[in-house]
Every structure is written in C-alpha cells, then in structure tokens.
Chains A and B, each alone.
Chain A
Amino acid sequence: MRRLKAILAASTVLCATAAAAEGVKLEVTHWWTSGGEAAAVKALADVFGEKSQNEWVDGAIAGGGSTARPVMISRITGGDPMHATQFNHGRQAEELVEAGLMLDLTDVAEAEGWRDTINPVSLLDSCTYEGKVYCVPINIHSWQWMWMSNKAFADAGVAVPANWEEFVASAPALEAAGKVPLVVGQQDWQARGAFSVLLVAIGGTDLWLDIYANKNAEAVRGDAMAKVFEAADTARNLSANSNVGDWNLATAKIINGEAGAQIMGDWAQGEFAVAEKVAGEDYTCLPGLGMNEVIQTGGDAFYFPKHDDPDVTAAQKELASIMFSREAQVAFNLKKGSLPVRGDIDMSTANDCMRKGLDILASGNVLPSSEQAISQDTEQQMRDLFIEFFNDKSLSTADAQERMAQLIEQAD
C-alpha cells in the first residue's frame, strides 16, 4: 500500500517539475498567516531570493496548523507534493518519513556541521530518523510563559505578581475590579497548554520528563500531580468568565486591560508588538510562571518532500541550507518573536522578554515539547481532556487525574 502510494506520488511529480529551465520554482507551504507571522515568512523569502537563483513560491494555508496539516499531508500522500513544508518539530511527520516520502538532508547537515551549531541538540534529534536528518529546525517556540496586563493590575490596585502564588492571591482584587483574572480561550490546545505550563511550574521538570518521556502513568497518579491538578482547578475557576474563542482575542483582553493574565506561548509577543506595547511597561512576561524558569523547545521545522528531478532536489537542499544560515535565522526570528535554533548568532536587537528567553536557553534549562515526546494521537486526546476539564466543573480533579493516567498508559 505504502509503496504503491510512493510510486504514484513519484510518477506525478515528474510531470509537475519538468518546467525547470533556469531557476527552480520552489513551492513552500506553511500556516503563518497572522500579521507578524507573514512578515517573518517574507523576511525568510527575501533572504532566499538574495542568495539563490531559485524562486520562492509562497503557499500559505490559512486556518492554523490543525487545518493546514491535513491539507499538506494529503497533498504529499496524494502525489502532489510541494517542495518544502512546515511542520512542528516532533512526531507530526514521522510516518511520512517512515514511508520514504521525505528528502534525506544528511549530506547538507554534515557538510555544514549542523550538529555543532544547533542549540539545543534535541532539535536536530527530533529531525533525525534512523540516523538520517529529514528536516531543518527553524525556530524555537516555548509554551512556558504567562503574560500579564500591567493596566489591569494597576486598576485593581495590586502589584504585578512575580509568580503563580502571588497571582492567585491577587485574583480576588482583580475580580472585584471587574477583570477576568486568567483568560483561557475555547481552542482545545489553549487549555492543554495552560495545564502543561502549570505542570512544569508546580510539578517540576523531572515530573514532566517522567510522565512524557518515560510514560510513567504512576507518576500521573502521584501526590505531586494531585497538586498540579489542584492548581489547574484554581486556574479553571479564575478563567470561568473568559467568554472568548481564539487565542489572539484572549491576548487582546490582556492588551486592553480587561483581563489580568494569560498563560500562552511566546507567539503572543507578536500580538503585543502589533499593538505597539512595550515589555515591562504595558505588559509583563513571566517565564515558567516565576516558579521554574525553563524553555520548552517546541517550534517549527521544514520538511522537503521527495522529488525525482535532480535540479529540484539540488534547489531543495540549497533552501534547507539557507534556512539554517545565520542571516536567515536572525531576520526570521526577530520578526516572528521566536528564539533562533543556533547558539552562535547575535540577537542584540531582541526585546526584554525575548532576551529573558535567550538567557534561559543559554543556561541550558530546556525541556522538549510534548509534540517531540508523544504522538499526535495522544496529544489530541490530552487536548480533549483538558478542554473538557476547563469547561466542565463537574469533572473532578481526581477523575481528570485518573483519565490522564490512562492516556499516558495507552500512549505510544
């Protein structure tokens, strides 16, 4: 079945790429469509345009990763592959690599010494399958942040908290001032992310690794985890009146001071930048909820579906090499608000929050992202559990804890 698909895929590709005379047109698909994201992609395409004879054809797919990924996957398996495509690094594209549909980049990676310059090395490991490199990590996005509105806390007459416990203590004042203390939107990954951040902040890095890397279900049933679920119970009570759907609308509530805090990844920074807010003055960022400063090394990577035309393959490898170059890394990540994947570049123009992230990264306090540790199936089941937990008060912490333990037991 798989082999048949690969053959079918390969045969259609032949016709599609015959028209490569001078520069090869490389179609690059991704799901970066918001203002800051589009600017970052343009910066990347510009660097490529300067350095290469080949042409970048932008194939943005609107609607976010969960909409874009099925389109990308069905194009690759259906025999109409693009030339390069975004996935989150981790296991999302694992089966496509196993099926032999992706281009092996090992020669580029070895020639340029990716392993020596990449930081942390785990990024390259999650691109590696059976000793071969199949993707280019392009940025690091970390979940471990809480964003707070200085205005909301000033209105409530309390100081901006420095950690989760202080925040919980200040919540009644926020509520009295008519603010939503903690805003969590209705997208399932938001609730799931908020819980994971609480897990790392309160339970600690080791507990996280024990659960996700070792798949230890007994750790989920333990007392340390019960504390995390208690904190999550507090969080769902504080976020009860969020009445909001998309994450950026939730961030907007922080920007205009309607809500006190939001637990969200560092991509929220793009929203603050678009609204021309200054870190430290208008908003405060708290890595690891002020309890456990750590950076989670999730993020985006580019994969290159296999094509038969040697010109196309050469152009794909050139693109891979440029994406990893210092120049592209700086240009792209400054616009995107994400951290670069190389340890050897100058990010002096980064803002306060980004610098905090870089410092934590340099100190080596890193954690893989859950996408690197568990399959998309398990990840989605977790999301279903936590979106239910945050919205249904009748689901007790003990029941939710047991259900999470079962998911970890079945995880693969």
Chain B
Amino acid sequence: MQTQRPNALFRNLTAKIAALPMIATALFVFVGCTLWTVYYSFTKSRMLPSDKWVGLQQYERLWNTPKWQIAVENLLIFGFCMMILSLVIGFVLAALLDQKIRFENTIRTIILYPFALSFIVTGLIWQWVLNPDFGIQQVVRDLGWQSFEFNPLFNPDIVIYGVLIAAVWQGSGFIMVVMLAGLRGIDEEIWKAARVDGIPRWRTYVFIIIPMMRPVFVTALVLIASGIIKVYDLVKAQTNGGPGISSEVPAKYVIDMMFGNQNLGQGFAASTMMLLSVAVILIPWAYLEFGRKKHG
C-alpha cells in the first residue's frame, strides 16, 4: 500500500487553528484598515468618510502646505540626530557600565528611569526645564552669568533640538539596557583572546564586539526608528508645534487634519505618505536583512 503524504495545509493543524484569530486580526486591522485609509485619501472626505473621488488633489494640497513641509523637515532632522545620539549614548553608557563597576544596579536603574515616564510627562518636564523664566537659563543667570542665553523652546530656528534633548533623555536609557544585554552575551573568551593578542580595548570594541553585536544593533535601530516616525505626544506636550508651526511633526499633522480641521481626506493623505516613506526604507532593508539569511 502506498502511504498517503499528509497535506501540507493540514500539517500542525491545531497550531494553525490557534493562530487563526491573530491572522484574522492582522489581516483585518493592519491590512484592511491600511487599504481603507489609502482608498479614502483619494476622496473629498471631510468630517465623515465620503466616496467623492478627487484623485490626487489631497496630495497636491499636502505638499503645498508649509505646515507639512516643515513637519517633514523636522522629522528628518529629529530622526537623524535621534538615531545617532541614541545609539552612541546608549552604547557608550552600556560599555561603561560593563566594566564590572560597583553599584551597577543602582546606576542602571537611575539611567533607565526616564523610560518609565510617558512622553507627555517628559514633554512637560522639559518644557519647564527649558523655560527661560525659571528653567536652566534663569538658574545659570542666578549663579552670576547674566548674559547666559539658552532658550530653545521660544526660538523657531532651534526648537526641534529642544524636543530632541527631551527625547534623547527619555529614550537612551532603554537603548543602553538593550546594548548591555548584548555586551553580556559576548563570550568572556573573546575578551581574553583579544588581551592575549595585545589588542587595545577600544579596538576590541570597534572591530570585534560591535560587529558581533549586529543583531542587537538591528533591534535597537528598529526600536528607535519606530519611535521617531510616530513622535507625537512629546511635541504635543512640550511645544504643541510652536512657536508658530516650527516644531510640527507629520504624526501631529495627521491628527490635526483629521480632528482639528475635520478633513479626513487630508489626514489620510498625510498618513499614506508616512506609510509610503516607511515602506520605501523598510522593504529593501528587510529584504536584504532577512531574505539573505534564508538563502545563505
């Protein structure tokens, strides 16, 4: 008798049934709602969704709006600086903590602490710290430095860096912990071998440890990047987009359009642009990163 080959579809049936609700949710919520949003971004939807098709009109308006242009520019500055600063500060702190120092637990807790605060609280704290009348500027002036000026939140040219400071303060502790876990995963033997070969510590870090920590860096990168693209609450609490519109970000533009302007179509167009920009970066990268592993 011939043995019947089990149908691939029914292999591991229980596991597949168990995963069904999640698959349905993912399809409906993520894919379904995304398609819905993209479709309605081509309509003249105002407060309520409508089917009146207007083609690319919402996108034309979007890219002609100074508020959106400033938001995109801010996101680029913020994203670039945030990425570099978080990774560098996170890694350096982790490397310093990894020197078998005393009170490591205490210091780690203190540095990680800001991460336990929401962005709203972070934004408010830094709004006060950077307030020219009673924040850093005033404290330094009271110490006798009368001409000292540090007032980023009311200066349209540098306000985004004021937001950046708060974001780095909040986020770098977490990146440090991720990096620290990565460093702890490095085999002690590698350090010993490097020492035997007489390689200086910094060269060991740069040429041996960091390449070995590639998966950890990828994780950190994804965490930071998703934080950057969705930054909204921090800006909302700290500057509310001001002064003027100089610290607007795309996510805030979307919310403002959908609810403040009661213009869903415009909000959907903006969020579709956000999705598109993420996809443009993410898809080739994911292909390189994960596709290669499968074949190699």
CB-nearest residue of chain A relative to B40? A1
Q: Which residues of B contact A73 (CB under 8 A)?
A: 47, 259, 262
**CB distance A388 to B46 under 8 Å?**
no
**Interfacial chain B residues near A390, Cβ < 8 Å:** 244
B149 adjacent to chain A (CB < 8 Å): no
Query: How distant is the Cα of A410 from the Cα of B262 in the complex, in angstroms?
Result: 16
Min distance, Cβ A332 to any Cβ of chain B, angstroms: 27
Known contacts A243-B132, A381-B261, A384-B67, A392 near B244 by CB under 8 Å: yes
| B37 beta carbon closer than 8 Å to chain A | no
The yes or no answer to A380 lying at the interface (CB within 8 A) is yes
Please report which residues of chain B, range 241-255, place their CB below 8 angstroms from some CB of chain A when the two chains form the complex.
242-246
Is there an interface contact between B49 and A70, defined as CB atoms closer than 8 Å?
no
Within 8 A of A (CB), among B49-67: 49-51, 61, 65-67
On chain B, the residues within 8 Å of A389 by CB distance are 244
For residue B229, give the distance in angstroms from its CB to the closest CB of chain A. Answer: 22
| Cross-chain contact of A388 among B51, B245, B261 (Cβ < 8 A) | B245
Question: What is the CB-to-nearest-CB distance from B82 to chain A, in angstroms, rounded to a whole number?
Answer: 24
B48 at the interface (CB under 8 A from A): yes
Nearest first, the 10 A-B pairs at minimum CB distance are: A391-B244, A70-B259, A380-B261, A95-B47, A391-B243, A376-B262, A377-B263, A377-B261, A388-B244, A186-B242
A43 to chain B, nearest CB (A): 30
Measured between beta carbons, the chain B residues less than 8 angstroms from A66 are 259-260
B246–A377 touching, CB < 8 Å:
no
Distance A391 CA – B244 CA, assembled complex (angstroms): 5
Q: In the assembled complex, how far is the CB of residue B291 from the closest CB belonging to chain A, in whole angstroms?
A: 40
Query: Which residue of chain A lies nearest to B248 when distances are taken between CB atoms in the complex?
Result: A384
Q: Which of B48, B65, B246, B261 contacts A99 (CB 8 A)?
A: B48
A388 touches B66 (CB 8 A): yes
A73 to B49 CA separation, bound complex (whole angstroms): 13
A30: CB under 8 A from chain B?
A: no
| Interface status of B240 (Cβ within 8 A of chain A) | yes
Kindly state whether residue B233 has any CB partner on chain A within 8 Å.
Answer: no
Besides A376-B260, A380-B261, 16 new A-B residue pairs in contact (Cβ under 8 A), listed by A number = A70-B260, A73-B259, A73-B262, A95-B46, A95-B262, A99-B48, A245-B242, A375-B46, A377-B261, A377-B266, A381-B261, A387-B244, A388-B67, A391-B245, A392-B246, A403-B66
- Given contacts A243-B132, A391-B156, A69 and B259 within 8 Å (CB-CB): yes
**Which chain A residues lie closer than 8 Å to B245 at the CB level?**
384, 387-388, 391
Asked if A118 is at the interface of the complex by the 8 Å CB criterion, the answer is no
- Contacting B at CB under 8 A, from A171-198, are 186-187
For residue B217, give the distance in angstroms from its CB to the closest CB of chain A.
39
Complex: A140 Cα to B240 Cα, angstroms: 29
User: A70 to chain B: which residues have CB within 8 Å?
Assistant: 259-260
Residue A355, interface by CB 8 Å: no
Please count how many residues in chain A sit with their CB below 8 Å of the partner chain's CB atoms. 31
Contact of B242 (CB < 8 Å), options: A94, A381, A391: A391
Query: Could you name 30 residue pairs across A and B whose Cβ atoms are closer than 8 Å?
Result: A1-B50, A5-B48, A66-B259, A70-B259, A70-B260, A73-B259, A77-B48, A94-B47, A95-B46, A99-B48, A243-B132, A245-B242, A376-B47, A376-B260, A376-B261, A376-B263, A377-B262, A377-B263, A377-B266, A380-B261, A384-B67, A387-B245, A388-B66, A388-B245, A389-B244, A391-B243, A391-B244, A392-B244, A392-B246, A403-B66
Cβ-defined partner of B48 (8 Å) among A2, A376, A403, A410: A2
Indicate which residue in B50, B133, B260 contacts A243 across the interface (CB closer than 8 Å): B133
Give the chain A neighbours of B260 by CB distance below 8 A.
66, 70, 376, 380
Q: Is B150 an interface residue (CB 8 A)?
A: no
A95 adjacent to B243 (CB under 8 Å): no
For the complex, give the distance between the alpha carbons of A389 and B67 in Å.
12
CB within 8 Å of B: which residues of A? 1-2, 5, 66, 69-70, 73, 77, 92, 94-96, 99, 186-187, 243, 245, 375-377, 380-381, 384, 387-392, 403, 410
Contact between B156 and A1, CB atoms less than 8 A apart: no
Interface centre among B242, B244, B246, B259 (most CB of A within 10 A): B244
How far apart are B160's CB and chain A's nearest CB, in angstroms? 14
Interface hub of A5, A186, A389 (most chain B Cβ within 10 A): A186
Q: Interface residues of A: mostly helix, strand, loop or mixed?
A: helix
Cα(A399)–Cα(B279), bound, Å: 36
User: From A185, which residue of chain B is reached at the shortest CB distance?
Assistant: B242
Enumerate chain A residues within 8 angstroms of B48, measured Cβ to Cβ.
Answer: 1-2, 5, 77, 95, 99
Output the nearest chain B residue to A403 by Cβ-Cβ distance. B66
Query: Please, which residue of chain B has its CB at the minimum distance from the CB of A379?
Result: B261
CB distance from A238 to the nearest CB of B (A): 16
With a CB–CB cut-off of 8 A, which chain B residues contact A410?
61
Identify which of B50, B51, B240, B243 gathers the most chain A CB atoms within 10 Å of its CB. Answer: B243
Q: Which residues of the other chain, B, contact A96 by a CB distance below 8 angstroms?
A: 47
Q: Is B154 an interface residue (CB 8 A)?
A: yes
Q: How distant is B240 from chain A, measured CB to nearest CB, in Å?
A: 7
How far apart are B88's CB and chain A's nearest CB, in angstroms? 32
- Tell me whether B256 is interfacial, beta carbon within 8 Å: yes
Chain A residues lying within 8 Å of B266, measured Cβ to Cβ, are 377
- Of chain B, the residue at the smallest CB distance from A70 is B259
In the complex, what residues of A have CB within 8 A of residue B47's CB?
Answer: 73, 94-96, 376
User: Inside 8 A of A243's CB, which chain B residues have their CB?
Assistant: 132-133, 154
B171 to chain A, nearest CB (A): 25
A391/B262 contact (C-beta < 8 A), A73-B47, A377-B46, A384-B67 known: no
Question: In the complex, what residues of A have CB within 8 A of residue B256's CB?
Answer: 380
Instruction: Tell me, in angstroms, the Cα distance from A95 to B265 when the chains sit together.
Output: 14
CB within 8 Å of A: which B141-158 residues: 154, 156
> Considering only CB atoms, which chain A residue lies closest to B243 in the complex?
A391
Task: Tell me the complex Cα distance, A389–B132, Å.
Answer: 22
Q: Are B261 and A387 in contact (CB under 8 A)?
A: no
When the two chains form the complex, which single residue of B132, B243, B261 contacts A186, counting CB atoms closer than 8 Å? B243
CB distance from B146 to the nearest CB of A (A): 16
Given A73-B47, A95-B47, also A387-B262 (CB < 8 A):
no
Q: Which residue of A lies closest to B64 (CB)?
A: A406
Give the nearest-CB partner of A67 in chain B: B259
Q: Determine the distance from Cα of A2 to Cα of B266 in the docked complex, in whole angstroms.
A: 19
Give the complex CA separation of A375 and B156 in angstroms.
29
Which of chain A's residues has its CB closest to B51's CB?
A: A1
CB of B156 within 8 A of CB of A392, answer yes
Inter-chain contact B243/A1, CB cutoff 8 Å: no
* Closest beta carbon of chain A to B241's beta carbon, Å: 8
